[in-house]
Amino acid sequence: MAGALRCDRAQPLAPAPLHANASRKIATTKPPPAHPGFSSIAFTDVLQGWVVGAGVVASTRDGGATWQRVDARLASVPTFTSTDIGWGLGADGLVRTVDMGKTWSNVPVPRGDVQSAAFTGNRSAWLVVQDPVTRTETLLHTVDVGVHWDFVATPGRPLRLCARDDANLWLMAAQNGLFETSDGGQKWAKVALPIPVSQRDFTDSGSILSCGQDDTWAENICCVGAFHQGVVLYRMGDHDRTWSAVLTNRGDLVPGIPQIPFAAPGAASFPSATVGLVTGDCGPCQANDHASLYATTDGGASWHAEQVPPMGDDLTWSIAFVDADHGWIATSGGGVFHTDDGGQTWRLQFESSSLPAD
C-alpha cells in the first residue's frame, strides 16, 4: 500500500508513509453535546456491559438492547472479579460492589490520588498512589478489601500497571521502562522490548494495555512533536515469553512490521491472545472521517482496517470487544454502537439522551 489508506474500506496493511496531524486523543472542536458523552465502555461477556461518561453511569444485562442508569459516581467502567463483585474508581475514590453494581461502598485507601489500578480478586487490588504533597508514586497491595495495604518496592517511580493475578504483574516505571514480576513484586525483571531506531526519544507515555491468561500487550510512545507521535505496539505470548513489536505508525521506528496511518493512538481492546483491535486519529482518511479502527486475528502478524460507525464529529471514543465478532463503541456524543460481525457493520444501539433524568 502506498499513500493514504481509506478508513471506510477493509484493506490488508503494509508499510506506508504517514501523513497526519498530532493529537494524543481523538478530539472534536464542536461545542459540548447537549446530552452526556461517554468516555469508557466495557463488557464482561456478550450480555453484561457498562458505560461511563460525564455524570452518567449505565449498565446492560442483555447485550445492550436495554440500558439502566446506575447510581454511582464512577470515573471509568468498573472491573468485575466475579458475577456479583466489582471494583471501580471515581469521585469517592476506590469503591466496590457485591450486588452486581446496584450499590457501591468506599474502600479505605492510604492518603493519595490513585493513578493506576488493577483488581485481581474479590478481595485483592493493586494501586499506584501519588502523594498529594511530595508528588511521588507508591505501589500498594491489599488482600482484605483495603483493611490493610502493603507497600511494594518498585524499580523506579511506578506509573501504570497491569496485573494478571497476585503473582504476575507488569509495571511501567518513569525513565526506567517496562518491568515484570512473577512473585508479587518481590523481584522485578526489566522487559527486553525490541529496541526502536529512535529509542532515545521514547517517553514515559507507555502503557500495559492488556495482560490476559495467554498474552500481554503493551505500547510505547516516542517523538511527541508538531506533526505526529510515534507509537509501537508490542505483544508477548506466554508460550515463549518473548516480546515482539507487532504494529507501528512510523516505519522508521521498527522497520519490517505492519504500519498503519494514524497520527495518535486511541482506545484498544484485546479479547484473546490472537484477537486485538486498536483505534486512532486517522489523519489521511478521506472526507471528515478521521477515526480509524484496525483489527488482527492472528496475534498481530497482520492487521486490516475495519469500518467505523457514522459518528459525525463525535471522535472521542472507547471500544470493547468480547471476541472477534462482538464489540461496542462509545462516543463523546453519548452514543453506543454495536457490531456482531467484527466491525464490518455497526448500528446505533443506545443514546445517553434516552436515559431518565436523575
Q: Give the HSE-up count for residue 141: Cα atoms under 13 Å, Cβ half-sphere.
A: 20
pLDDT band at 333 (very low <50, low <70, confident <90, very high): confident
User: Which whole number is the average pLDDT over 140-166?
Assistant: 95
d(CA 321, CA 339): 9
Backbone angles phi, psi at 199, to 5 degrees: -55, -35
Q: pLDDT tens digit string along 68-81?
A: 999 899 999 999 99
pLDDT band at 1 (very low <50, low <70, confident <90, very high): very low
- Give the model's pLDDT for residue 264: 66
- Give the model's pLDDT for residue 311: 74
In the predicted structure, residue 164 carries a pLDDT above the cut 80:
yes
d(CA 20, CA 249): 10
In the predicted structure, residue 262 carries a pLDDT above the cut 90:
no
Instruction: Walk me through the domains of the chain, giving residue ranges and CATH numbers.
Output: 38-354 (2.130.10.10)
Which among 333, 324, 358 is positioned nearest to 34, based on CA atoms?
333
DSSP secondary structure of 163-231:
ESSSS-EEEEETTTEEEEESSTTSS-EE--PPPPTTGGGB-S--EEEEE-SSEEEEEEEE---SS--EE
More confident position, 183 or 253: 183
More confident position, 340 or 252: 340
Q: How many residues does the chain have?
A: 358
3-state secondary structure of 352: helix
Backbone angles phi, psi at 202, to 5 degrees: -65, 145
Highest mean pLDDT among 137-151, 202-216, 253-267 belongs to 137-151
In the predicted structure, residue 17 carries a pLDDT above the cut 50:
no
- Give the model's pLDDT for residue 10: 29
In the predicted structure, residue 23 carries a pLDDT above the cut 60:
no
